[in-house]
Chains A and B, each alone.
Chain A
Amino acid sequence: MQWDIVIGLEIHVQLATKTKIFSGSSTAYGAEPNTQANAVDLAMPGTLPVPNEQAFRYAVMFGLAVNSEIERRSVFERKNYFYPDLPKGYQTTQLERPIVGPGYVDIDLANGESKRVRIHHAHLEEDAGKSLHEDFHGMTGVDLNRAGTPLIEVVTEPDMNSAEEAVAFAKKLHSIVTSLGICDGDMSQGSMRFDVNISLKPKGSDTLGTRTETKNLNSFRFMEQAIAHEVERQMDILEDGGVIEQETRLYNGDRDESRSMRTKEEANDYRYFPCPDLLPVEIDDTFIEDARSRLPELPDARKTRFKDQYGLNDYDAGLLSGDAKLASFFEEAASHGKDAKLTANWIQGEFSARLNAEEKTVADSPITGAQLGDMIIRISDNTISSAGAKKVFDALWTGENDNVDAIIDAKGLKQVSDTGALEKMVDEVLAGMPDQVAQFQNEEDPKKRKKMLGGFMGPLMKASKGQGNPKLFNEILLKKLEG
C-alpha cells in the first residue's frame, strides 16, 4: 500500500531575553546549578510573577515575521502537573488566548518548488528546570536555572508531508528567529526543541490517521532520523493490519530507536485555568508598531535582495541568506571582493568545509569577510591561481598571517602574467616535445585535442616553477599549436 505522511510540528524557541519571563533572574546558560534561581523561580511561598516586557516584544516580532495576527488581549493560564523541575506545580502558559494567532511560513524544497506551511498559533510560556538523573545515585538532582526562561511555542498545521519538508521548515524557522535576534539558535544548548506529530493515511485519503508525538528533538539530523524511524514504525504496524496508538514517544538518536513515554489514557488532565496572579496582557498598536520598527531584514527578503543585488542564482541566494551571520559574512566578503559569484563559491566550498571539519560556526570563523574579499580580488586580477588561493586561505585560517598580499609575497604565489616571458617558455617547451606537437596537430577529435593540450601544461608549470598564469599559458599554447 502507498501511504501519505502527515507531519505537524511544535517548536519551543527559547527567547534571548536577559532575564526570565516572570522574574529578574539571569537566563544565561551554563551557570552552576541553582545559582540563577531567585525566590520567584523557586516558587517560595507568597512570591508572585511579574511579566518581562521584552519577552512580549520578541513574541510580537516573531508574530509579525511569520505573517500572523497579533492578539490584542492574551491570557496566561496555569497548566497543572507535579514534577520536581516544575517548582510551582504548574507551568504558566497560554491556551485559549495565545499572543500570536494564525500565520504562515514559505519553505524552499530541493526540487526548486516552494511550499506554504501554516502556523496555527504561537504562545508565550515559561520553561521548566532540569532534572538530572546522572551523578545522583538513587536520587534526582534538580537545577532550576532554566526554570522561568521565556519560550514561545510555535504550533504548525499538519502541512508537511516528508522529513525533508519538516526539516526545511525547522531550518527556516531557525533562520527567522536568529535573524530576528530573539533566539540564539544554539540547538546544542536546547535553545530550539522540536516535537513532531506524525500520522500516515492511505495515499489520497482525506481522513487523517492516528498520530503520535515524538518529543524533544534537538537537532535537524535527529529530527530527520526520528521522522524516518517513526514513519517506518507506523508503516510496519499498519501494513501488518495493526492500529496506531495515540501516544507520546521519546527518540534516542544515538541508537536510532524510540519508546513510548505515555499513551493517551495515561495523559495528564492539566486542569488549565486563567492565572489569577497575572492580568490579561493588552497589546496596543503602539507596541506592535514599535516591534515592527525593530524587525531586521528577514530571510525571504534577504534572498530576493541577494539575487537582485549580487546576481546570485536562486540556490546560492537561498543558501547564503538563511543564516543571518553567514549572510552578513557573505556581504562583507562580496562587497570587498567585487565578484559575488566567486565569493559565493568560496563560502560554500572551502569556507564551509573548514567550518564543518572543525565543528565551528560562522561566528567562530578565524577569517573575516574582508580578508576573504581581499583574496577574491587577487584571484580576479590574476595575481594568484586558484591553487595559490587555497594556500592563501590556509594561511589566513591558521593565523599564520592576516594580510593577503603579504602571504602571496611570502609564499611566492604571484603568477607570471608577462606574455613575453610566458611565450618564451612555451617556445622552449614545445621545442623539446616535437612528437607530441605533431600528434596534436594531426588529431581531429576536439576532445582528444583538449586532453593532449593538458599534456603540455605540466612541463610548462614546471618550467615556470608553478608561477605561470595557467589561463595565459593555455591561450599562448593554442595560438602556437594551431597558428
Chain B
Amino acid sequence: MHNKSVAELSRELDSGKVSSVELTQDFLSRIKQEDSKYNSFITVTEEQALADARSADEQRAAGNATPWTGVPFAHKDIFCTNGVRTTCGSKMLENFVPPYDATVTENFRKAGAVSLGKTNMDEFAMGSSNESSHFGAVTNPWGLSKGEKRVPGGSSGGSAAAVAARLVPAATATDTGGSIRQPAALCGVTGLKPTYGRVSRYGMIAFASSLDQGGTMARTAEDNALMLNVMAGFDPKDSTSLDRAVPDYTATLNEPLKGLRIGLPKEYFSDQLSPAMEEQVRAAIREYEKLGATVKEVSLPNAKLAIAAYYVIAPAEASANLSRFDGVRYGYRCEEPKDLLDLYTRTRAEGFGTEVKRRILVGTYALSAGYFDAYYLKAQKVRRLIQQDFINAFKEVDVLMSPTSPSPAFIQGEKTNDPVTMYLEDIFTIAINLAGVPAMSVPAGFIDGLPVGLQIIGDYFSEARLLNAAHQFQQVTDWHQREPQ
C-alpha cells in the first residue's frame, strides 16, 4: 500500500478495498518502524489521525467523499494546526500549540485528508540541508544503504524524506528560496512551488513574507495536482493572496506536449555546472523533445545577482517577522529574567539557533540607518530586474528548464560551517522566488545512485501547464518511481 500514490489510494478507498483506518494504521506503523533512521517527523499525531480516519470512513460510506477523504499525508511543521504542537523546527516554539488552523491546514481538513503529523524542517525554514532543526537533522533515505548519512535538502527536508521513504504519500511544504524544489530533487520526489499569492500564507509561520509560498510534495505530478486543488485559492485572511479562479489541476495533465516551447537559460548551463548534472538534465530535455517540445536558449541576464539580492531581502523581512518571538506572550522564555532587556536578550539568544540568529543579524544590519539604501533598496531594484528577466523570457517560451540543484545530496556536516557554500545550493531556485513565478522539481535521473531533479519554471499562474509537463514526463520515465533501499 505504501508504494501507491494519492490518486491510487483514493481509488482504493473509493472501491472499498481498503479503509482509511487500515491505511492510516499501515502508514503510522511504518513511521514507527522506519523514522528513527530519517528523523523526518517532529510530531506524530496517532490518536488524532485514527479518529480522523474513522470519520473519513464514515464520510465515504455516506457518499460525501472528496478525492482526499481518508488519504493519509503530513504537514510541514510550519503550518499551524489547531490543538497540535507547531514548532517551526525551533526551540522557540518547542511547546507552542496554536489555537487556530492555517488556511492550508483547514483546507485539507475540510477535504477529509488524514494528517499523520508534522514533518521536520530547518529552523524557521532557514536552511538548505535540514541540519538547522532544533529537533535534529533529517537523513536522506538515499545513500543510507551505503552507510552514508546524507542531507535531504531543506528547508522542507522532513517532508521530502518522508515522501521518499514512503512514510506518507504526500506532504505539504513551503519554499522561500528553493525549500520545496531542492529537497524534492535531493530526495527524488516531485515538488511544486506555486505562484506567489496562489496559496494562502495565513497560519504558515513567516520567514520572508514576500517570498514564502506554500506548496506540494509527492512522488507523482498527478498527486501534486491533487494537493494543489486543495491548497490553491484566494483567502480573505491573506491580503497578498490573489483572487483568481482555481482550475482543476488534474484536468489538463494529459494534454499533449507537442509544440511546447522550452527555454534553457544560458546562465544556468554555464561551465560551472558539473558535467554529470548537465548530462542528466540534457537527457531529460531530450525526452521532452521526443514528446514534441522545441528547445531554445534564452537569457536571464540578472540571474547572477539573485543570491545577493535574496540574502538582503529575505533576512531583512525575517528580522522583523521573528521579532514577535520575545518571550512575552507564548513560546520559549528564559529562566528568571532580571528585567525586560534580560528577558528579550536571553530568550532570543537561547531560543534561536545559529543560522536564525545569523539571518536576524544580517537583516537588521541591512535595514539600519545608513545602510538601508545601499542594501535593501538596491536589492529591491535588482529584484525588479530579475522579475523583468522572467517576463521577457516568457514572451519567447512556455517554460524554462534547468537543474534544480548544482549537485545531488551531500554528506551531513559537509557545509554547515560554510554558510555561503550552503547558500549556493539554491543558485538555480532563488531567482524564481524573487520573481514570484511557479516552478517544479521533477525526478530526472541519478548521479552515483543519488537522485537529481529537473527544474521546470513557468509564467505566473501556469501551474496547470507545469503539472502537465511534469506528468507527461513521468509517463515516459520512471525516475519518480525509484525507491531508496
Contacts and interface: CB of A to CB of B under 8 A. Distances in A.
Interface string B306-322: 00000000001101100
A271 B316 CA distance: 9
Contacts of B319: 80, 271
Interface in B323-346: 323-324, 326, 328-330, 340, 344
A43 B205 CA distance: 11
A80 B360 CA distance: 13
A438 to B, nearest CB: 90
Contacts of A39: 98-100
Contacts of B78: 46
Interface string B342-369: 0010000000000000000000100111
Given A45-B98, A279-B239, A273 B326 contact: no
Contacts of B96: 45
Contacts of A46: 78-80, 98, 102, 201-206
Given A89-B320, A273-B316, A45 B86 contact: yes
Contacts of B205: 45-46
Contacts of A47: 100, 202-203
A180 B23 CA distance: 63
B201 A44 contact: no
Contacts of B320: 78, 80, 88-90, 271, 273
Contact of B372 (A48, A78, A89, A273): A273
A242 to B, nearest CB: 28
B202 A44 contact: no
How would you classify the secondary structure of chain A's contact residues: helix, strand, loop or mixed? loop
A330 B205 CA distance: 56
Contacts of B210: 276
Contacts of A87: 324, 328-329
A370 interface: no
Nearest to A50: B239
Nearest to B364: A271
B388 interface: no
B329 A43 contact: yes
A140 B328 CA distance: 11
B238 interface: yes
A88 B323 contact: yes
A181 interface: no
A459 interface: no
Contacts of B324: 43, 45, 87-89
A45 B329 contact: no
A142 B99 CA distance: 20
A479 B98 CA distance: 93
B236 interface: yes
B49 interface: no
Interface string A269-291: 10111001111000000000000
B99 A269 contact: no
Contacts of A101: none
B328 A45 contact: no
B202 A142 contact: no
B239 A278 contact: yes
Nearest to A281: B239
Interface in B171-206: 201-206
B88 interface: yes
B207 to A, nearest CB: 11
B323 A89 contact: yes
B240 interface: yes
A48 B237 CA distance: 7
A336 to B, nearest CB: 49
A51 interface: yes
B236 A80 contact: no
Contacts of A42: 329-330
A277 B240 contact: yes
Most chain A CB within a 10 A radius of its CB, from B80, B326, B328, B344:
B328
B209 interface: yes
B330 A44 contact: yes
A277 B320 CA distance: 11
Contacts of A142: 328-329
B376 interface: yes
Contacts of B80: 44-46
Interface in B54-94: 78-80, 86, 88, 93
Contacts of B209: 276-277
B240 A279 contact: yes
Contacts of B99: 39, 44
B88 A45 contact: yes
Nearest to B93: A45
Contacts of B372: 271, 273
Given A43-B329, A142-B328, A48 B86 contact: no
A44 B367 contact: no
A49 interface: yes
A272 B206 CA distance: 18
Contacts of B238: 48, 50
Nearest to A45: B205
A398 B209 CA distance: 61
A427 B99 CA distance: 92
Interface in B349-404: 364, 367-369, 372, 376
A149 B320 CA distance: 21
A272 B236 CA distance: 26
Nearest to B345: A82
A45 B236 CA distance: 18
A129 to B, nearest CB: 10
A268 to B, nearest CB: 10
Contacts of A278: 239-240
Interface in A40-94: 42-51, 78, 80, 82, 84, 87-90
A281 B417 CA distance: 43
Interface string A137-155: 0001010000000000000
Interface string A237-259: 00000000000000000000000
A142 B329 CA distance: 9
Contact of B239 (A43, A48, A271, A272): A48
Interface in A268-320: 269, 271-273, 276-279
Contact of A271 (B86, B102, B328, B367): B367
Contacts of A271: 319-320, 364, 367-369, 372
Nearest to A51: B239
B326 A49 contact: no
Contact of B328 (A84, A90, A269, A272): A84
Contacts of A279: 239-240
Nearest to A278: B239
B434 to A, nearest CB: 13
Nearest to B79: A46
Interface string B281-325: 000000000000000000000000000000000001101100110
Contacts of B86: 45
Interface string A197-235: 000000000000000000000000000000000000000
A45 B80 CA distance: 8
Contacts of A48: 201-202, 237-240
Given A44-B80, A84-B326, A273-B367, 16 more contacts: A39-B99, A39-B100, A42-B330, A46-B79, A46-B80, A46-B98, A47-B203, A80-B319, A82-B323, A84-B328, A88-B324, A90-B320, A271-B364, A271-B367, A273-B376, A279-B240
Interface of B: 78-80, 86, 88, 93, 96, 98-100, 102, 201-206, 208-210, 236-240, 316-317, 319-320, 323-324, 326, 328-330, 340, 344, 364, 367-369, 372, 376
30 contacts: A45-B96, A45-B98, A46-B98, A46-B102, A46-B206, A48-B237, A48-B238, A48-B239, A48-B240, A49-B239, A50-B239, A78-B320, A80-B319, A82-B323, A84-B340, A87-B328, A89-B323, A89-B326, A90-B323, A142-B329, A269-B368, A271-B319, A271-B320, A271-B364, A276-B210, A277-B209, A278-B239, A278-B240, A279-B239, A279-B240
Nearest 4 pairs between A and B by C-beta? A89-B323, A276-B210, A271-B367, A276-B209
